[in-house]
Amino acid sequence: MVPVVILAGGGGTRMGEVGKMIPKFLLPVNGEILLMRTLRQAIEKQYDNIIICTRLEYVDKINSLVSHLGHDNGVIKIKYANETSLFESLKSLGEDLINIDEFVLVLGDIYYVDNPFVDLPTNISFGDVLVGKTVPKYSLEFRLGGVVETDSLGKVMRVVKKPSMAISQGTRWSGMSLCGKNFFDDLRGLSDKIDVSLFSLEDIFDYRNSKYHSSTVIDKIEFVNINSSLHHVYANLLALGTTSEIDDKVKSVSLMCAGEIKELILRNGHQL
């Protein structure tokens, strides 16, 4: 299996008082910490080489959490970056993946409703596979950024970080990708073109798509990017409504309430 890299270094700056106390990837959703959920989902799909990229201040906490999931036998490696920027964190990973042609990159602070480590192809060569979801009802979500724009045939046109009213078709991107060859070479090449202090994941994947014209999209994965306390409530209701351990009536009510919260979030012009 290809390696999995989980980025788990961001704070919860948009989570109000909660975000001041706990980084977003350590938030619990229905009793399960987001990072631990992502780890469990990867291990369930037989991934046996997992690197968690984090900050030094979080290493002890993460070590404590993951020790019973295989950290001691080498399945999970915890790496911290001395630099605080996303660009430098990714660049430091090149030392661990120097002879690797492809790897899975995933954000540790996303709530995936179902296991996202499915249907990922192998031997993709150049270009990337971007994992996201379609948004059939609210086209506004396409225009808020974090979107893989596609044409009428589903071909990837660009990967967009910033809001754009011009986008009418595409996939809301979860930040998860299967990265093909030359990822770290292209990362270094991109540093000559942009201010790396402003670097985002969209920058590298858009750069690679424009270079190779071969990126593709998987748009079947439902997820919640928890950017506020309301998003956190929504994720918890979804989790409660999709667990098999509670009464069907409770699940039905939970999903109904989740639907109302979803409508409220989207009507207020925010993404899921």
186: region left, alpha or beta (phi > 0 left; psi from -120 to 50 alpha): alpha
Report the half-sphere exposure of 229 (CA within 13 A, side-chain side).
5
Backbone angles phi, psi at 268, to 5 degrees: -80, 5
What angle, 0 to 180 degrees and rounded to 10, lies between the N-to-C axes of helices 248-267 and 229-242? Answer: 150
pLDDT band of 243, cuts 50, 70, 90: confident
Percent of the chain at pLDDT above 90?
A: 48
Q: Write the DSSP symbol of residue 58.
A: G
For residue range 173-197, list pLDDT tens digits in order. 999 999 999 999 999 999 888 888 8
Cα distances (angstroms) measured from residue 167 to each of 44, 138, 170, 210, 215: 36, 12, 8, 17, 18
Collect all residues with Cβ–Cβ distance below 8 Å to 39 and sequence separation of at least 6.
6, 50, 52, 66, 69, 76
For residue range 5-25, list pLDDT tens digits in order. 999 987 666 666 665 678 899
Beta carbons within 10 angstroms of residue 259's beta carbon: 14
Segments making up each domain of the chain, as ranges = 4-267
Superfamily name and number for 4-267? Spore Coat Polysaccharide Biosynthesis Protein SpsA; Chain A (3.90.550.10)
pTM given for the model: 0.91
Residue 49, both tokens: 């080489």
pLDDT band of 73, cuts 50, 70, 90: low
